[in-house]
Structure 1
Amino acid sequence: MAFFMQRTRQPEVFYLTTENKMGTEPVGKLIVSMSLPPLLSMFMQYSYNLIDSAFVAQLSENALTAVSLSFPITTLMNAASVWIGVGINVLIAGFLGRKEQDKADNVATAGLIVSFVLGAVLNILALLVMKPYFRSFTGNADIYSLCIAYMQICAFMQVPNMVHIAIQKMLQATGNMISPMWFQIAGVVVNITFDPLLIFGMGPFPMLGITGAAIATVMGYAFSMVLALILLFRGNQKVRIRFNDFHFEWHIVRRIFSAGFPSFIMNALSSFTVTFANLFLVSCSETAVAFFGAYYKIQQLIVMTVNGLIQGCLPIMRYNYGARKEKRVRSSFHYGLLYATVMMGVGELIVQFFPSQLLRLFAASAEMQSFGIRAMRIMACGFVFCGFTTMIATYFQATEKIIQSNILQLLRQLVVLLPAMWILDHFLGIDGIWFSFPVTEIISFLCAAIMLAMAHKWTTASPDSPAH
């Protein structure tokens, strides 16, 4: 107590005496209040992705196929942005929970620098790999040219995307969920507004087709970045960027990469999932590739909306873990698990009952409808299990069990999925590819439940656990 009385004589750190709401408010209510803003922003962002593909599908099925083939690259780029952002979020929330303001500010400053530099590097890499990547998937000259036209513009989304997500996570780590929601939604509105204008050439705007969709994407991310930077430097935030007395420490950068790596795995592996699925599907037909790209946009809308819930739960669990409030950590996890299960269940019901209507958003041909309806119903069977596993992985991430969190993500989207896809495709044909997804989610869920039970047993036995 004497420490706090002594520190409050210095005006610059006076706010340290005020307890953060993440450590005091009722957990159920707190999760709702902190999750709704990122949940809404994620819903809108991935609604844009769905709407963007729906607009492109009006051009031609080849255009939809091109966007579908581009999806793994853009997803990997976005995964890298989330990687850095979540790493920043986890470290800042932990330091604030321990009342170490200077360290939190140092993480924010280092994170902003890393986001600019790494964003530029990934922009260049995307431009270098896109031609050989697309050549490996299609020999159709029209689809290839559409892929290049789209990706050579979309590559430039990476710097603004990485910077605005880094700032978003900084603010969320302090409990500020509203401001990040608004600058993300503002970018989405710009995106959706300019999509039809630039794709179809409305009013004074030229008809740019698939290139117009890519330009609208970059414009949206750039607008979000500008608003985020203004808010960070001109707003009264609980974390500060300090270039004047900043000392670059490599161990902080390593911890940012380490803490955010499970989130990178979760997002990046979806890129590999689509890539490997396309390798199987391209031998069937280009329509199958176009369908899977359309379905995955629907699935991502549901899963990433639940990820908005996780964005609200993660800093709460992490803050209380840093403050050694084990009961609040577990309570946050239990509430998050309940909410995630309900949300994924609703998403599953929507896909099960309205697959035809969802496919019509993408101007689905009769051929696509003929196998797409059944395929969507099969793949949606794993949604609820996905919610369980993802929330358990998030709990591990928040409590510094990074290895366990990584293992669960690798099981879901690589270790189990790829063998299941290969084996079931061999015995069931294209239906085997669809069945591999729910089979993988069920196996991963069983592994997650076992790992969680073991972790709780170890935590209870350990004298070093926060509960002690």
Structure 2
Amino acid sequence: MQTNNKMAVAPVGKLIWQMSIPPLISMFLQYSYNLIDSAFVARLSENALIAVSLAFPITTLMNAASIWIGVGVNVLIAGYLGQKKQDDANTTVTHGLLLAFGIGALLNLLALLIMKPYFRAFTNNEEIYQLSIAYMSVCSFMQIPNMVHIAIQKMIQATGNMVAPMCFQIAGVIVNFVFDPILIFGIGVFPDMGIRGAAVATVAGYSLSMILAFALLLGKKQKVQVKIKGFHLQKQMIRRIFAFGLPSFIMNALSSFMVTFVNLFLVAYSDTAIAFFGAYFKVQQLIVMTVNGLIQGCLPVMRFNYGAGNSERLHSAFRYGTALVTGMMILGTLAVILFPAQILGLFTASETMRSFGISAMRIMAASYLFCGLSTMISTYFQATEKVGSSMAIQLCRQMLFLAPALWCLDRLFHLNGIWLAFPVAETATLLVALVMMARHRHKNIS
């Protein structure tokens, strides 16, 4: 019986804290992979940092696909548990695993096929090109373990267990952090693998997380289980997994396309500008996606109570989550504005990079709060099955407003215009999101 499920009866404020802190930490750890790689690789050379920066859109797109399936499964399972449909929740688990393995293998192959023409489009420097290929030819194999462990993480989170998924996430990051310098620089008995060592450490970290995640899922104490007996593929369930996870995919995938698009502008200035943006964006992603982990902790609470028909708890969760997001984004903004030189120091920034990078970071950090609030509204629409509205907000954030802002401001203010485009686009997106929320509330009242 689930009449005493904490999602339905626990105080909303306490529940949000319990549900949000573990995924917040998990997202922090998830996005620390690329930052750690970049920080160690930058000690090899600026060209090595450029190579990892050029690979970042591909790895981000792969990670976005993992989150797509994971969040879709999470929303569907939380809804079924709210409706007390245990068998449907277990069936969703099996569908999620099959999708994670199948799509993971497909994306692994796709990354290997596209990397050569992709990197050629961004650099004529043979050293940068060869370093990019060396890194991505290994890093592409992260996709299956990444996709599977994120899917399992979201399955377990949907049951209200937010701590256990954090543990196998921590284990993977520790492996990556320990083996990055060992394999890059060749410490002890390990060979000097250079940039390829960073990729090997990343794949090893994700693989360990996947193994531990499977061990956890197969335990008898889990509230959802893998359904094998009587299982058959359900096209409708697959469609719903894709549909519910699509807004999260768009948010993350657009980051990949956005970085690629920005790099097209930065190519006209210098390779150092590309290296800076790649390094900075990993810091931004660490902040923004950590806060998004908090938001994703609110998602199953809102989704459960929407499925249970408890609108009061649904809106209470939204308000409390919004307050937390506001506070965290303010802290993130202050960190970047106050310590840009120290942050760039993590990437062994040259004087040339520092000359424009410090002011650029302060300009772009002004967009964080607007980004957090619009994402929270998007997640509310996602939880209440307004998928179209949720996707529209994400499209505005990283495409519909950002692309024209980049084009116009680059012409007006040159390199500084590229940095200014980010707060301009985020401000416009928040205004659109607030209008959409106001119309939604007005429609429900009337």
Structure 2: which amino acid aligns with 1:362?
A: F
Secondary structure class of the residue paired with 2:40: helix
Structure 1: which amino acid aligns with 2:167?
A: W
For residues 116-165 of structure 1, what are the alpha-carbon distances to aligned partners after superposition, in whole Å with 9 as ceiling and x for unaligned?
01100010000000000000000000000000000000000000000000
Aligned to 1:293: 278
Q: Give me the CA root mean square deviation.
A: 0.8
How many percent of aligned residue pairs carry the same amino acid?
63
Secondary structure class of the residue paired with 2:7: helix
User: C-alpha distance in 2, partners of 1:21/1:52?
Assistant: 39
Structure 2: which amino acid aligns with 1:143?
A: I
For residues 324-358 of structure 1, what are the alpha-carbon distances to aligned partners after superposition, in whole Å with 9 as ceiling and x for unaligned?
00010100000110100110110000111110111
For residues 31-72 of structure 1, what are the alpha-carbon distances to aligned partners after superposition, in whole Å with 9 as ceiling and x for unaligned?
111111111122223233212211000000000000000000
For residues 271-328 of structure 1, what are the alpha-carbon distances to aligned partners after superposition, in whole Å with 9 as ceiling and x for unaligned?
0110000000011000000000000011011001101101210000000000000010
Which of the numbers 409, 412, 426 marks the counterpart of 1:441?
A: 426
Which of the numbers 407, 411, 422 marks the counterpart of 1:422?
A: 407
- Alignment partner of 1:373 is 2:348: no
Aligned to 2:55: 70
Per-residue deviation, 1:235: 4.0
Aligned to 1:10: none
Aligned to 1:166: 151
Which of the numbers 176, 180, 190 marks the counterpart of 2:175?
A: 190
- Alignment partner of 1:103 is 2:82: no
Secondary structure class of the residue paired with 1:234: coil
**1:290-369 mapped onto 2 (5 Å cutoff):** 290-369=275-354
Per-residue deviation, 1:18: 4.1
**What runs of 5+ residues in structure 1 fail to find an aligned partner?**
1-15, 462-468
Aligned residues: 446
Aligned to 1:253: 238
For residues 188-236 of structure 1, what are the alpha-carbon distances to aligned partners after superposition, in whole Å with 9 as ceiling and x for unaligned?
1111111010001001110101000000000000000000011111241
User: C-alpha distance in 2, partners of 1:459/1:69?
Assistant: 46
User: C-alpha distance in 2, partners of 1:207/1:344?
Assistant: 39
Which of the numbers 139, 142, 149 marks the counterpart of 2:127?
A: 142
Aligned to 1:155: 140
Aligned to 1:219: 204
Shift in CA distance, 93/17, structure 1 to aligned 2, threshold 3 Å:
closer
Structure 2: which amino acid aligns with 1:191?
A: N
- Alignment partner of 1:20 is 2:5: yes
Structure 2: which amino acid aligns with 1:369?
A: R
For residues 363-417 of structure 1, what are the alpha-carbon distances to aligned partners after superposition, in whole Å with 9 as ceiling and x for unaligned?
0000000000010000001111111101000000000000000000000000000
Secondary structure class of the residue paired with 2:132: helix
Which of the numbers 263, 274, 277 marks the counterpart of 2:259?
A: 274
For residues 70-91 of structure 1, what are the alpha-carbon distances to aligned partners after superposition, in whole Å with 9 as ceiling and x for unaligned?
0000000000000000000000
Which of the numbers 255, 262, 271 marks the counterpart of 2:247?
A: 262
Secondary structure class of the residue paired with 2:31: helix
Aligned to 1:116: 101
- Alignment partner of 1:125 is 2:114: no
User: C-alpha distance in 1, partners of 2:3/2:214?
Assistant: 26
Aligned to 1:210: 195
For residues 420-464 of structure 1, what are the alpha-carbon distances to aligned partners after superposition, in whole Å with 9 as ceiling and x for unaligned?
000100111011100000000100000000000111111223xxx
Aligned to 1:403: 388
Aligned to 1:8: none
Q: Normalising by structure 1, what TM-score?
A: 0.94
Per-residue deviation, 1:17: 4.3
User: C-alpha distance in 1, partners of 2:188/2:411?
Assistant: 52
User: C-alpha distance in 2, partners of 1:311/1:383?
Assistant: 17
Structure 2: which amino acid aligns with 1:302?
A: I
User: C-alpha distance in 1, partners of 2:231/2:225?
Assistant: 11
Secondary structure class of the residue paired with 2:191: coil
Which 10-residue stretch deviates more, 228-237 or 155-164?
228-237
User: C-alpha distance in 2, partners of 1:70/1:191?
Assistant: 17
- Higher Cα Rg, which structure: 1
Q: Normalising by structure 2, what TM-score?
A: 0.99
User: C-alpha distance in 1, partners of 2:59/2:370?
Assistant: 26
User: C-alpha distance in 1, partners of 2:83/2:443?
Assistant: 24
Structure 1: which amino acid aligns with 2:248?
A: S
Aligned to 2:227: 242
Which of the numbers 414, 439, 445 marks the counterpart of 1:454?
A: 439
User: C-alpha distance in 1, partners of 2:29/2:87?
Assistant: 34
Aligned to 2:160: 175
8 Å CA contact retained: 2:33, 2:202 = no
User: C-alpha distance in 2, partners of 1:397/1:107?
Assistant: 18
Aligned to 1:390: 375
Aligned to 1:3: none
8 Å CA contact retained: 2:273, 2:353 = yes
Structure 2: which amino acid aligns with 1:438?
A: P
Which of the numbers 17, 28, 37 marks the counterpart of 1:32?
A: 17
Which 10-residue stretch deviates more, 215-224 or 45-54?
45-54
User: C-alpha distance in 1, partners of 2:237/2:25?
Assistant: 31
**What runs of 5+ residues in structure 2 fail to find an aligned partner?**
none
Secondary structure class of the residue paired with 2:218: helix
